[in-house]
Amino acid sequence: MMAAGVVLILGGLAVGGYVGWQYWGTNVISHRHQTAAVKELRQAWGEGEASAKTKFGTATAIIEIPRFGASYAVPAFSGTSDTVLASGFGVYASSAAPGEVGNYTLAAHRVTHGQPLRRMKDLRVGDEIRVVTRLTTFVYTLTTSGSALTVPFTGTWVLDPLPQNPSGGVQPAQKAGQALLTLTTCAELFHTDNRLVAFGVLTSSYPTAG
């Protein structure tokens, strides 16, 4: 009986350690990755390159969200692989480029791995999302809040150039020629197949400071 009890205790400690690593340890590592990638990207910009090939992926932009604080600066990488999403925002393969007509589509974790969108539900209509690239900073203004729309992971319509809600609910203004932005993240803090989605529209741009 004593041996069985020891096994149960050790098993509990192992599970607790794993959960602790997932919810705290991965954040520490991912924040380091984010800081390193932002630094590498800025160095690449200084050398005239539009992107930086880092060990975490190809970094193309820095995402700033004033609602989340003045120091918030998270790299955006091409693609949405596990490695990418463990290091910042992922840009979907079907995405438009920043500032272009169409839909600039981003994914990020809400918990673990740096949790860039932990406070997704705090986002409000009118909040700015800044996409900083080598030459230009593009400012998108949210037209929906961070809690207004939940879709299943199969709801890929939110990634369309002009997303149209098949249920007739929350969606961007149905007007051609817009430069849109879409944020996607997990709907709940624990495992879920649903996604929170927020839409924004390009409202201004200005030269990126050197």
What CATH number should be reported for the domain holding residue 107?
2.40.260.10
| Domain housing 162 | 2-207
DSSP 96: P
Strand partners, 107: 90, 184
**pLDDT in single tens digits along all 210 residues of the chain:** 445 444 344 333 333 343 443 445 565 677 788 899 999 999 999 999 999 999 999 999 999 999 999 999 999 999 999 999 989 999 999 999 999 999 999 999 887 655 799 999 999 999 999 999 999 999 999 999 999 999 999 999 999 999 999 999 999 999 999 999 999 998 876 667 899 999 999 999 999 987
Collapse the DSSP code of 139 into the 3-class scheme (helix H, G, I; strand E, B; otherwise coil) and give the result: strand
Is the sign of the CA dihedral 18, 20, 21, 27 positive or negative? positive
Closest CA to 183 of 133, 132, 206, 149: 149
Q: Which residue has the tokens 């989605």?
A: 197
Q: How many domains does the chain have?
A: 1
